[in-house]
Chain A
Amino acid sequence: MNPRFLPYLLILPVTLFLCLFFLYPFLLVAKQAFSTASGLSLENFREVTGYWKFPISMKNTLLLAAIVVPIQLALALLMATMVNRMQKGRDLILYIWTIPLGISDLAAGIIWLAIFEQSGFLNSMMNGLGVVDRPVNFLSYQHPMIVFVAIMLAEIWRATAIMLVILVAGIGLIPKEYYEAAEVFGASPWKRFLRITLPMLRPSLQTALVLRVILAFEIFAVVQALGGTLFPVLMGETYAYQFELLNGGAAAAMALIILGISIAFTLIIMRALRVPKGATI
């Protein structure tokens, strides 16, 4: 056989798999989003964006991403730098820090629910210390701020490690000589981080941020567990359309809106962190 075709032959199975189980359902969803009883239209989009909960869920999703992702980025960078400097026990610490990655997001939500709910750890502790005389219902409509913080904490706890793993690999690729050169030429540790680590980490930052931001727009189970209907998010609304209101067209439209936002942010991140030609390691 002509060896030129071999690479194509080798990627054929995975391509077929993706076409069958990803591209085809995606096209079906897209078709469903644009079709109503009267034929092709934007009716589904009009319906979902016109609903009173849409602006709130959009705002909540974006706000959550805008607060959680930067905190996770900073934490992941700090943790990656620390891990990178360790001589001993590096792998052990890395394993411990990545444990939350192995837990499903619903389970993560439930763990934090166990902390924050009325009979949860936080209440028992505060009660024991005498800070409160009777348990407080933190996760109620009276404390929207606490609901938000609980979701935020759960998300940070659950999903920082995915960025950490990518950044640790990226930092490991930066040759030591650059740091030594920067040190000799007068860069303090902080300056070395700003002027060497960050810019040379751009490809890894790109990957980590794209992945994390997309996941942030898909946030669902953690919110469901901690906030329920108190804190509507886009994915929660999509779920409601599909399984509570049995409106597949509207759910498909919501899914496409989330996809659109994800693509837009991916492009922004790729653009902002692009590496100029000739400037790679």
Chain B
Amino acid sequence: MAEIQIKNVAKRFGSYQALHDINLTIADQEFMVLLGASGCGKSTLLRIIAGLETATTGEVWIGGRRVDHLSPKDRGIAMVFQNYAVFPHLTVFENIGFGLRMQKLPDAEVRRRVERTAGLMHIDQLLKRYSGELSGGQRQRVAVARALAMEPDVILMDEPLSNLDALLRLEMRAELKGVLAESNTTAIYVTHDQVEAMSLADRISVMHEGRIVQAATPVEVYRNPAERFVAGFIGNPPMNFLPANRLEGGRWQVAGQTYNGPATANGAVEFAIRPEDITPSDSGLPAKVRLVEPLGAHLLVTCDVDGSMFRAILESDLNVKAGDMLALAPQTDRIRWFDPQTSLAVA
């Protein structure tokens, strides 16, 4: 059992506040992804959980035990590093067995665990090699095997796939998900790649400027962004935003069209819709097409709506070209609204 609780954690480097009052609970065996742009504090938070960094204030609990005063080795964690950190002077076998040797486990047990995890990561043929003789993908596998061999309660991963090429990343992603699901460990995974986050996570914590702005399932984060930042960050291309003006009885005017919106709100809100939740129809938002990009399965159409940039993902057989006028109808149950003052979602 390894539930992780982060209570009021803040971190300050000199005058720079890297983390503000972070509160997060990660359930036992949950796969939590910390997602955010570089500099948002996600790696710092991971390193505080690992014990490689000390929080300025706050507490870290793992498995019902307060650990923020313990050294990394006493926290029941294992970690996969961004640059792998596979020791160059040790063979693959000794790399995977490094932590086990430090625990002074008997040789037979070290051998059993190294061989088992090497098998799991499909590197059992490489046990006698040095890291200089391995490819990036193989090193990554060694790094994961080394963490798994510890049979930790919690496995921490800091952008583990970011140094791999695109194809290998896809392959390793799927494999990681399978291996970790079977290992029954709690996982925290840091990435700036939203596709990686969506595909791996049980829950995603989106971080921005040292705060967690939303912690929810991938579908929830995608469908119901809690903040405008999340709506603009998740999704490729991200959500479209248009200003809306208040009419009577919870109705709002957007680019000349009228939609049902939040009943209680200020005079102005922002209308938001995902590019794929739009269809061309007889009546809808008036859009002047600026650019058409065929993506094979779809057309990515960039338009001008009410003076704002607006993107739509449309059927690939649609006959449309730059300069055309379209009426784009949003799928009404997918429309989201944001308060421009607080940036928070309003219902």
Q: Which residues in A have some Cβ–Cβ distance to B below 8 Å?
A: 175, 177-178, 180-187, 191, 195-196, 199-200, 202, 275-281
Contact = CB atoms under 8 A, between A and B. Distances in A.
Nearest to A176: B85
Contacts of B150: 185
A186 B87 contact: no
A181 B103 contact: no
B87 to A, nearest CB: 6
Contact of A183 (B73, B88, B103, B129): B73
Contacts of A195: 98
Given A186-B99, A186-B102, A186-B103, A181 B88 contact: no
A177 B133 contact: no
B132 A279 contact: yes
Nearest to B73: A186
A184 to B, nearest CB: 5
Nearest to B134: A278
Contacts of B99: 185-186
Nearest 8 CB-CB pairs, A to B?
A185-B99, A278-B132, A186-B102, A181-B85, A186-B73, A278-B130, A278-B133, A199-B89
Interface in B78-128: 78-79, 81-83, 85, 87-90, 98-99, 102-103
A199 to B, nearest CB: 4
A177 B89 contact: no
A182 B102 CA distance: 9
Contacts of B131: 278-279
Interface size on B, as a range, is: 20 to 34
Instruction: Tell me if A's interface is mostly helix, strand, loop or mixed.
Output: helix
B72 interface: yes
A29 B144 CA distance: 60
B138 to A, nearest CB: 12
B77 interface: yes
A181 B52 CA distance: 10
B88 A196 contact: no
B13 to A, nearest CB: 13
B234 interface: no
A191 B71 CA distance: 15
A184 B87 CA distance: 13
Given A175-B83, A278-B130, A183 B52 contact: yes
A177 B103 CA distance: 20
Contact of A181 (B71, B87, B89, B133): B87
Contacts of A183: 52, 71-73
Given A275-B89, A278-B133, A180 B52 contact: yes
Contacts of A275: 89
B89 A187 contact: no
13 contacts: A175-B85, A177-B82, A180-B85, A183-B52, A186-B73, A186-B99, A187-B73, A187-B98, A195-B98, A200-B88, A275-B89, A279-B89, A279-B132
